[in-house]
Amino acid sequence: MKAGLYEMTEKVYRALPYLNYSRFKYAIDSAMEAHDRDTYPRNPPNKVNMGGAQHALTLTPLEFNEDYAIAPEGLSLATKAGKAWKAERSDKRIISAKDGKILHRVDAGIRRCDVARWHLENARLEVVAIWEQDGVMCKVKIDGLHYLPDALVHLELKGTGNPEPRGWIRREALKLWYPTQAAWVHNGVAQATKQATGVGDIITETLFLVHDDKTGECCPVPLPESHLVDGDAKWRRAFATWCEAEKAGNWAGRWDKSAPVISDWPKYDFEEDTDE
């Protein structure tokens, strides 16, 4: 597939055999951990990810209806009727009635926010950037790109239990490496458009649309430039570590490909001895 910006479904995007941020990001700490997480995913493929479901409902509602089904209120999936209802929707991911209410409450809260609604109504949503980075084909799916006369705004939906903006960047965004992810998006859009057209689109701002999972309200939080600069250095370091390890076939600490990785080891709880 040629470099450029595309619109495609989540299923098509996931089927593309290109490197994305989720696969290599843990290489910033350990190539072995990145390889372990890539080889042994933490979540089963059929498990409903509420974040992914929220993105689908808010950004691509038609795709949400194709991929998900919300159980009717009062229907227990453990009963004969519930099992029959679920069997009729075997091609969809099932969401409980309780979680369905949460999804719709958050979606309504986002649309009540004037800033969020204005951006989402005028942006290109669920855009996929594909480009070549140092000889490696890469991809990234972007929640939204809002093209303004003098700016290009990168939109990201995020969830939290407390969206108070002053503390959210410090308390959650940095801890979860959101600036590093945003910097990867900035680079991807610039490289994809440059390789496709000869001129790269430069994202001027990342705006997090942070929805409160408890109240369903939304708070727009811009990403400070200083965090973006730091994030750019981090993804480049992680990307280089991943590529070097993959090329050498040596995932730092995995001396034998048949040797067990961390996730295969038994889990023990060690407690300090105390004198009674």
Query: Is 145 within 8 Å of 134 (Cβ atoms)?
Result: no
Q: Which domain holds residue 235?
A: 4-43+114-263
208 found inside a domain:
yes
64 found inside a domain:
no
Q: Does the pLDDT of residue 230 top 70, yes or no?
A: yes
Provide the pLDDT for residue 271: 43
Cα–Cα distance for residue pair 122/110, rounded to 1 Å: 15
What mean pLDDT value characterizes the chain?
85
71 found inside a domain:
no
109 found inside a domain:
no
194 found inside a domain:
yes
125 found inside a domain:
yes
**Taking Cα atoms as reference points, which of 66, 55, 57 lies closest to residue 91?**
66
Helix, strand, or coil (residue 3): coil
Provide the pLDDT for residue 44: 59
pLDDT band at 119; cut points 50, 70, 90: very high
Query: Is 155 within 8 Å of 123 (Cβ atoms)?
Result: yes
120 found inside a domain:
yes
Quote the tokens at residue 76.
Answer: 């227990």
Quote the tokens at residue 266.
Answer: 């038994």
Q: How many domains does the chain have?
A: 1
pTM: 0.83
CATH number, domain with residue 119:
3.90.320.10
| Sequence-separated (6 or more) residues with CB below 8 Å from residue 268 | none
Helix, strand, or coil (residue 39): helix
* Residue type at 197 in one-letter notation: T
Q: For residue range 148-202, list pLDDT tens digits in order.
A: 999 999 999 988 766 565 577 777 788 888 999 999 999 999 999 999 999 988 9
80 found inside a domain:
no
